[in-house]
Amino acid sequence: MKKLAKYTFGFFLLALALCVTCIPLSSCSSKEKIYLFNYGDYIDPEVYELFEEEYGITVVVDEYAAPEDMYSKFTMGTASYDLVCTSDYMIEKLISGGYLAEINYDNIPNFSNIDENQKNAQRSFDPAIKYSIPHFWGTVGLLYNTEKVSAEDVKSWDVLFSGEYAGRIIMPNSERDAMFVALKQLGFDANTTDKTQLDAAAALLKEQKKDVQAYLLDEAARTKIESENADIAVIYNGEAYLAFEANDKLDFVIPEEGTCIWLDAFAIPKDSESKEKAELFLDFLCREDIAAMNFEYIYYSTPNKAVVDSLDPEILEETAIFPDKAVYENPSVFKYLGKEIEEYYAKLWKEIKSS
C-alpha cells in the first residue's frame, strides 16, 4: 500500500500560539493536579504541557495495558483517579457497577465537535450519554505482509485457522479480541452470551494455538510484522497505519465476515475530588486544535468532526484510519456481557492459554 505523507496541522498550532483561549478556573495554581488512568502513549505528551501552560494544572498519568488490568486496579481502591480512559464495554461495566460520576456537559462545550455517528456508537454503552467522552475509535482487522500472504486468503478470518501460515500468526493477547475473531469465523455474534457458542469459539482457539507464534497487542504485534518476523497479525487499525510507514510491503484488511468497531472513551470516577478540573481537561481534549494534535500523534480514527472536516481527502480515503462508510455508520460495538459471562470468558481464556 502506498505510504501517505503525514498531514500536519500547522495552522492549528499557529492559531494556538497566536490566540490561546483562557477559561477562568477558581483556585487554579501550578501546584494543582488531576490524575488520569489511561492506556500507554495514548495522548500526545505536548497536550499535557499545553494544558498545564494554559490552566496551571498538571495531569499525572498512570498507565495500563488491557481493560481488565485497569478494572482490577481501579476497583481495588489502591489509587484514586480523576479520569479514566478505557474501552466501550468496560465503560458500560463501570456504569453498571456505579463507579462513575455523571458528567456536566455544560462544562464541555467542545463536546459539540463530536460526530453524531460516534455519539450513536457511544449510546451502545452509555445510552443516555451521561458518563463518557469519546477519545478514539477504530476496527480490528488483519495486518499482513503482501509478499508472503495471499490477498485472497486474508479476505476471510479463516486464514488464521487454515494452518497454511502456521508459526507466522500473531493473535491478540486479549480474551475479548481473540474470542471475537473465533466467534466471527464461526458465524456467531461478537456479543453472544450463549455458552455453547463460546465453548465452540474457545475450542477453535485451542486448536489454533499450535499455529500461533505469539499473543501480543498494539506496538508489540505491529513490530513483529514490520520486522518480518511474522506474516499476519490481528491488530487495531491505527497500529496498521503506523506499520505502513516502517514497511511498504504491508497492507491492512477487514475480512468479509466483518468486524466490530471499538470506541475508547474518558469517564470521571464518582470519588474524584477534582471533577470540574477533569471536565476542563475533557473540554480541552475536544477542542479542534488539541484533537488534531492527538490524531496526528496516534493516527487512530478521531471522533472529532471538526478535525475530520479539515483533513486532506487522501487521508480520509485511507481505510486503515477511517473504515469504510458502512462500518462507520452501522457500528457493532463490544458490549458488557454481565458478571457471569465475563467470568466464563476468563475461565475459557485461561484454558486456551494453558492448553
Neighbours of 57 (CB within 10 A): 22
> What's residue 258's pLDDT?
86
Give the model confidence (pLDDT) of 4-50 as tens digits: 433 444 444 444 444 444 444 444 444 699 999 999 999 999 999 99
Full set of structural domains in the chain with CATH:
10-137+262-329 (3.40.190.10), 138-260+334-354 (3.40.190.10)
Instruction: Please give the pLDDT value at position 261.
Output: 87
pLDDT of residue 319: 85
Rg (CA), the chain: 20
pLDDT recorded at residue 25: 40
pLDDT tens across 224-255, in order? 999 999 999 999 998 999 999 999 999 999 99
CA distances, 288 to each of 38, 256, 295, 345 (Å): 21, 34, 10, 39
Closest CA to 157 of 209, 232, 212, 220: 232
3-state secondary structure of 62: strand
Mean pLDDT by 10 residues, the chain (355 residues): 39 43 42 94 97 98 91 88 97 97 99 94 95 96 98 97 98 94 94 98 98 95 98 95 95 91 96 98 99 94 97 90 72 86 96 96
What pLDDT is recorded for position 173?
Answer: 94
Residue 191: what pLDDT? 95
State how far the Cα of 337 lies from the Cα of 90, in Å rounded to an integer: 10
CA distances from 118 to 2, 197, 239 (A): 28, 30, 20
Question: In 10 A of CB 127, how many CB atoms?
Answer: 11
